[in-house]
Structure 1
Amino acid sequence: MKKLSIYEYIKIILQLGKARISLPVALSALTGYVLQTGTIGLDGFYLALGVFLMSCSSGAINHWQEHKIDAQMPRTKDRPIPSGKISPLFAIWVFVIYFILGAYVLYIHFPIAGLLASTLTLISYNGIYTPLKKYTAFAVVPGSLVGALPPYIGWLAAGGDITSPSILLVAIFFFIGQIPHFWLLLLMFGKEYKLVGYPSLNDVLSENQIKRLSYTWILATIASALLIATKVMTGRTAMFILVFYIFYLLFSLTLQLLVKKNLHPRQTFFKLNFLYLFMMIVLVIDSLFHPV
């Protein structure tokens, strides 16, 4: 391994933590917190920081778990471990540091709800979903529970009721939304998964069938988003903006699939991911100006 600069090490540490994924996870937890409290405050910052670090620890250990698989796929062969930039042991140390820092932040400020729920999320992703996807193409279903947990972390950390309809609807939205997210990734990279022997829906369904399956789950995601807009949000302006984008997504994807007879996976992937991000931003803004 060649000697790396400090900048390169920082870049690799962020790559190991999957910072681009961990940031939305932290925002999702913050969304649950603001939904319950109606404010962000310093505690909201600590919550987001702690969840971000815990999510980064999950990403780092995932790099270690899958580095041999990553080396065989064109999409992942340039990641830090398979590319030879760092050793697997380095990734483990990064995981340990991320975990200790995240656990410390959450333990100091949210000793029960924040720390335990974040640890449960890590166990669900790294201990259940990651090993399970080697055996079944439907690992995505239990894996999607990971997407539903961060809003609950923020909600419970703020003292919210676990049975509240508001947070339940938000969690359902993120749970359902994770499934077409994975199906679309399968459409884009399914051939690479087959290279490493992972079970894939491509083995039993045609590309068009997977597209229609993805569209069905997107419809369910849109329905759950509409429930949030009408049952959780109280500000009319934010509600109108969210509903406008929801219907834009519905009509554009319906046009693609039913009229043009083709659902473009990459375009659809970005449009759907924007809905997740937009949902979090709108919910935070709505909760700040119109507390539930």
Structure 2
Amino acid sequence: MSDASYSVERREAGSAGLEGVHDARPADYLALLKPRVMSLVVFTSLVGMVLAPGSLHPTLAITAVLCIAIGAGASGAINMWYDADIDALMARTQDRPIPQGRISRDQALGFGTVLSFASVLVMGLAVNWVAASILALTIGFYVFIYTMWLKRRTPQNIVIGGAAGAFPPMLGWAAVTGDLSLLPVLLFAIIFMWTPPHFWALALYRSDDYARAGVPMLPVVAGDRETRRQILIYSLLLVPVTLSPWLLGLAGHLYGGVTAVLGAIFIGLAWRIWRSNDDRAPKHMFAFSILYLFLLFALLLAERGLGWGA
């Protein structure tokens, strides 16, 4: 049997959820956790922890970060279990462990479920139950609201479902304080408003993938032009939200000045997408949007470290 035929058979077995898969490696289980997504979750939650008043014992802080990382990874594993059929149809996702047949759907579901409950339980027992409740909400929102309800039913899947990725700063803050206040809510709002232009830029040059899988992303349902218009609108709305911590006196002038410059670049890229008809502008926007969010949160960390914050 050729390697190509073997790969096809494995992918078909994975998407069908067949049992009898025995060659899973640790790297396959790591892939189920979506480590790139997890890294962003950990970083933004860590920023929430650092900005929160008070402190945690280093052991508890590490425990909180691990619980957040494991909870995020667990929801990713359950997402891969549920979406194995469409993952097998999309070039971007067909090399994941389940479509390739290296892990069965049942294995992924069990793995994700155990990690979900364990992360919430340990967070509650070791840190506090407010943070544990927000972690449970985050996992539940991503699995039940986004993955199972919104993703295959509405082009607003990313708009509403983006809340799942916006909870981590609130999680980090609550881990330290046991409550919430205005700043973590503003950080939630930044990620929430950032998510649509970020993912719609990706969807513009991956629209064939989503159409083939039957996922009603905005370019598939509303068309390329409307998606470009929505990216511009959301980008214009995003920038004032990113400036709100500074405008409300919760961040310093370093954050305010650099964020204004970064926001102008973000809007410029959105304008290029609106004016163009090719894939280059969306690709540039998608790549920059990741750096953009990282820099916003890094600025808040830098101000706190330098003592320049509000």
TM range (shorter): 0.7 to 0.9
The structure 1 residue matched to 2:49, chosen from 15, 28, 33, is 33
CA contact (8 A) 1:233 1:286 kept: no
CA contact (8 A) 2:81 2:98 kept: yes
- Tell me the residue number matched to 1:12: 28
Amino acid in the other structure paired with 2:167: L
Matched, 1:94 2:111: yes
The structure 2 residue matched to 1:227, chosen from 244, 248, 253, is 244
How far, CA to CA, are the matches of 2:266 and 2:28 in structure 1?
A: 35
How far, CA to CA, are the matches of 2:113 and 2:177 in structure 1?
A: 29
Q: Do the aligned partners of residues 82 and 289 (structure 1) sit closer, same or farther apart at CA in structure 2, a change above 3 Å counting?
A: same
The structure 1 residue matched to 2:70, chosen from 53, 56, 65, is 53
How far, CA to CA, are the matches of 1:220 and 1:31 in structure 2?
A: 23
Matched, 1:140 2:158: yes
Q: Do the aligned partners of residues 88 and 259 (structure 1) sit closer, same or farther apart at CA in structure 2, a change above 3 Å counting?
A: closer
CA contact (8 A) 1:229 1:242 kept: no
How far, CA to CA, are the matches of 1:243 and 1:124 in structure 2?
A: 31
Most deviating of 20-29 and 236-245: 236-245
- Tell me the residue number matched to 1:150: 168
- Return the offset for 1:211: 1.2
- Tell me the residue number matched to 1:122: 139
TM-score w.r.t. length of structure 1: 0.87
The structure 1 residue matched to 2:85, chosen from 68, 79, 85, is 68
Amino acid in the other structure paired with 2:90: M
Most deviating of 115-124 and 237-246: 237-246
Amino acid in the other structure paired with 1:113: V
TM-score w.r.t. length of structure 2: 0.82
Most deviating of 129-138 and 107-116: 107-116
- Return the offset for 1:51: 0.3
How far, CA to CA, are the matches of 2:197 and 2:254 in structure 1?
A: 28
How far, CA to CA, are the matches of 2:273 and 2:212 in structure 1?
A: 28
Comparing both chains, which one has the higher relative contact order based on Cα–Cα distances under 8 Å and sequence gaps of 6 or more? 1
Aligned CA RMSD, in angstroms, stands at 2.6
> How many equivalent pairs are there?
287
Most deviating of 178-187 and 37-46: 37-46
How far, CA to CA, are the matches of 1:154 and 1:203 in structure 2?
A: 36
- Tell me the residue number matched to 2:261: 244
SS in 2 for 1:158: helix
Most deviating of 274-283 and 233-242: 233-242
Q: Do the aligned partners of residues 50 and 203 (structure 1) sit closer, same or farther apart at CA in structure 2, a change above 3 Å counting?
A: closer
Amino acid in the other structure paired with 1:35: L
Unaligned segments of structure 1, at least 5 residues: none
CA contact (8 A) 2:32 2:73 kept: yes
Amino acid in the other structure paired with 2:264: F
Unaligned segments of structure 2, at least 5 residues: 1-9, 11-20
- Return the offset for 1:89: 2.2
Most deviating of 100-109 and 141-150: 100-109
CA contact (8 A) 1:233 1:283 kept: no
